Amino acid sequence: MTDPVIRISDMNKWFGTFHVLRDINLQVAAGEKIVICGPSGSGKSTLIRCLNRLEQHQEGVIEVEGVSLDGSVKNLESIRSNVGMVFQQFNLFPHMSVLENCTLAPIWVRQKTKQQAEALARQFLERVRIPDQADKYPGQLSGGQQQRVAIARALCMNPDIMLFDEPTSALDPEMIKEVLDVMVELAEDGMTMLCVTHEMGFARQVADRVIFMDEGEIVEENAPEAFFSNPQNERTKMFLSQVLSH
């Protein structure tokens, strides 16, 4: 394995007195796709939110591309601009058009001209298959379209790593596929991805590793084939029997 782009060692986090993440150790190689699953409240979202410090960990070390997340603002801004994130609730900026959503950060963080940023944005909107919605506002789009804009917005920063926090959980069933298709394509292009999701089909198709979390711990991690066909831990078996039964 080459140098990992993400290295988490002995990381612990508490919300007040509640111990959300316990002794997390995880390394992710460049280009690796990781799916994190587990019951709600198991700390999986909190884990990936620690990777761009939307949540702060209290113990242990998190390094992203060799830069430590230690509260230094300079480190933080450099990491954040290289790590894209897609949220469950899209979090598009409702007062800006789709194009403006996509060009805001390239202009203000990457110092691109408006024209360069717009060309870039149109290119990524094409990739997520909504080039003709560029001048609309988020409120005029369907959920699936909004989430694809959110993916394009993150990609406009040319990130090395993409974090997905339950990207399809707020979508109507018929829109899930259009978002997953975009994510599969992104995976095929070699993006490093960490994805919290309940879409087990997606995990089977793209993941290099599946990580199962429960009560703040990484309980089991394995290649998808082995993970689904031969789970080791009782808690994993229990969870899989629940999500795969329908």
Partner 1 sequence: MQVLVLAAVLGAMAWLVGNVQSNLERQNINSGFGFLSERAGFGINQTLIAYTEDDSFGRVLAVGLLNTLLVSALGIFFATLLGFSLGVARLSRNWLISKIAMVYIEIFRNVPLLLQIMFWYFGVLRNLPSPRQAVSIGDAIFMSNRGFVVLWLEASAGAFWYGLAALGLVIGGIWLRRRAANAQITTGQATRVWRPLLGLAVALFGGAALMAGVPFALDVPHLKGFNFRGGLTVIPEFVALLLALSLYTAAFIAEIVRAGINSVSKGQREASAALGLPESVALRLVVIPQALRVIIPPLTSQYLNLTKNSSLAVAIAYPDIVSVLAGTTLSQVGQALEIIFITMMIYLSLSLLTSWAMNRYNQRMAFVGNNT
Tell me which residues touch partner 1 (CB under 8 A).
52, 54, 77-78, 80-85, 87, 89, 91-95, 104-105, 108-109, 113-116, 136-141, 150, 153-154, 157
What is residue 11's three-state secondary structure? Answer: strand
Residue 219 structure tokens: 């309980």
DSSP conformation class of 128: T
| Closer residue to partner 1 in complex, CB, 157/219 | 157
Alpha-carbon distance of 3 to 66, in angstroms, equals: 9
Under 8 Å between Cβ of 1 and 17: no
Please, which residue, 3 or 77, has the CB nearer to partner 1? Answer: 77
For the bound state, the minimum distance from the C-beta of residue 90 to partner 1, rounded and expressed in Å, comes to 8
**Nearer to partner 1 by C-beta: 77 or 188?**
77
Which among 8, 35, 36 has a CA at the least distance from the CA of 24? 8
Q: Minimum CB separation from partner 1 for residue 1, in Å?
A: 27
User: Shortest approach of partner 1 to residue 65 CB, angstroms?
Assistant: 14
Closer Cβ to partner 1, 99 or 219, answer by number:
99
Give me the least distance between CB of 106 and partner 1, in Å please. Answer: 9
The DSSP letter of residue 158 is -
**Strand, coil or helix: what is 213?**
strand
- We find the least distance from the C-beta atom of residue 141 to partner 1, in angstroms, to be 8
Cα 222 from Cα 43, distance rounded (Å): 19
Q: Select 112 or 204, whichever has its Cβ closest to partner 1.
A: 112
